[in-house]
């Protein structure tokens, strides 16, 4: 059985006081349970504080992006060395918002994925189609390209540790969720793509999340699907109660 990974992607939200309060509210309620892993993906300025607050607990802390270089003249960027040094465990890479607004490409996602492993960070690699691409029947070929490029050059062991998040762009922040069957179909396809570039054992082990308007009301149905191993959640991860309900759903 693959574990379920519930990651709350706060995006560009909260103040430090609100971020700290959120962690205080949830941290003692995250179960020590092999079936579920809980992560908050927080803005850079909160990471130091959240890592400190979550030490010795079951809540992990992720960044939402990073540069692929270790250091250098990249004004405004944050490196994998800095994240690792802070005690951050995960990093979201290739989120559709970064692809759309910040010129993230499959090539930079691949470089960042390698950089994450080089520095002991677990990448959460996001893939997914736009509405136009879905309507043009390009979903499967698009996610196939995104997954293959993101994983290019990784060892099977590294691929096993990678978390892949399938997030259809049209379902993000819109209240529209892919039906659980449609989401599962794409996640199953992603698993086949992983198998085609690695082997059966690797593809069976890799965690594939769904993201896009996941909330307590629809999470059970999504997580009941054969190939959906968790959720990357935006809006519904901002409130402590709702985040805890999602984590509890992962431990069912």
Out of 93, 234, 248, 249, the only residue in the binding site for ligand 13P (CB under 6 A) is 234
DSSP state, residue 6: E
CB count in 10 Å sphere of residue 200: 10
Nearest distance in Å: CB 175, ligand 13P:
8
State how far the Cα of 100 lies from the Cα of 88, in Å rounded to an integer: 25
List the structure tokens of 27.
């941290």
Q: Is 28 annotated as a binding residue?
A: no
- Catalytic-role residue among 114, 167, 189, 248: 167
In contact, 116 and 123? CB cutoff 8 Å: yes
Q: Is 56 annotated as a binding residue?
A: no
Nearer to ligand 13P, 168 or 202 (CB): 168
When asked if residue 94 is in the footprint of ligand 13P (CB under 6 A), the reply is no
Q: Is 235 annotated as a binding residue?
A: yes
Nearer to ligand 13P, 82 or 169 (CB): 169
Helix (H) or strand (E) holding 62: strand 59-63
Residues 95-114 that bind ligand 13P (CB under 6 A): 95
State how far the Cα of 52 lies from the Cα of 224, in Å rounded to an integer: 34
239 is catalytic: no
Q: Which of 39, 52, 49 is nearest to 19 (CA)?
A: 49
State how far the Cα of 66 lies from the Cα of 122, in Å rounded to an integer: 12
When asked if residue 120 is in the footprint of ligand 13P (CB under 6 A), the reply is no
Q: How many residues bind ligand 13P (CB under 6 A)?
A: 14
Nearest position to ligand 13P, beta carbon: 234
Residues 6+ apart with CB under 8 A from 230: 3, 4, 5, 6, 7, 37, 163, 207, 208, 209, 210, 223, 250
State how far the Cα of 160 lies from the Cα of 93, in Å rounded to an integer: 16
Nearer to ligand 13P, 45 or 173 (CB): 173
Q: Is 213 annotated as a binding residue?
A: yes
Out of 193, 232, 246, 247, the only residue in the binding site for ligand 13P (CB under 6 A) is 232
- Catalytic-role residue among 37, 67, 90, 95: 95
State how far the Cα of 248 lies from the Cα of 251, in Å rounded to an integer: 5
Bridge partners of 125? 93, 164
Q: Is 11 annotated as a binding residue?
A: yes
Q: Is 170 annotated as a binding residue?
A: no
Query: Pattern 137-176, binding to ligand 13P, x per CB under 6 A?
Result: ------------------------------x----xx---
100 is catalytic: no
When asked if residue 30 is in the footprint of ligand 13P (CB under 6 A), the reply is no
When asked if residue 233 is in the footprint of ligand 13P (CB under 6 A), the reply is yes
Residues annotated as part of the active site: 95, 167
Which residues are annotated as part of the binding site for substrate? 9-11, 173, 213, 234-235
């Amino acid at each position: 059985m693959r574990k379920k990974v519930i990651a709350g992607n706060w995006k560009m939200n909260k103040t430090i006081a609100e971020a700290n309060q959120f962690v205080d509210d949830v941290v003692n309620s995250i179960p020590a349970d092999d079936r579920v892993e809980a992560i908050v993906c927080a803005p850079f300025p909160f990471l130091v504080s959240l890592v400190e607050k979550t030490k010795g607990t079951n809540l992990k802390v992720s960044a939402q992006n990073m540069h692929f270089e270790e250091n250098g003249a990249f004004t405004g960027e944050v490196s994998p060395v800095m994240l690792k040094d802070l005690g951050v465990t995960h990093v979201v890479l290739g989120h559709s918002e970064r692809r759309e607004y910040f010129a993230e490409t499959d090539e930079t996602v691949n470089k960042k994925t390698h950089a994450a492993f080089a520095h002991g960070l677990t990448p959460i690699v996001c893939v997914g189609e736009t509405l136009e691409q879905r309507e043009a029947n390009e979903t499967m070929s698009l996610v196939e390209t995104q997954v293959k490029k993101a994983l290019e050059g990784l060892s099977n062991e590294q691929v096993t540790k990678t978390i892949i998040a399938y997030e259809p762009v049209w379902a993000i922040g819109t209240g529209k969720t892919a039906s659980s069957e449609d989401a599962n179909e794409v996640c199953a396809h992603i698993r086949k793509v992983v198998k085609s570039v690695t082997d059966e054992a690797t593809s069976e082990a890799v965690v594939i999340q769904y993201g896009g308007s996941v909330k307590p009301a629809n999470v059970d149905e999504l997580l009941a699907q054969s190939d959906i191993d968790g959720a990357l959640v935006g809006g519904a991860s901002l409130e402590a109660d709702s985040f805890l309900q999602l984590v509890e759903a992962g431990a069912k």
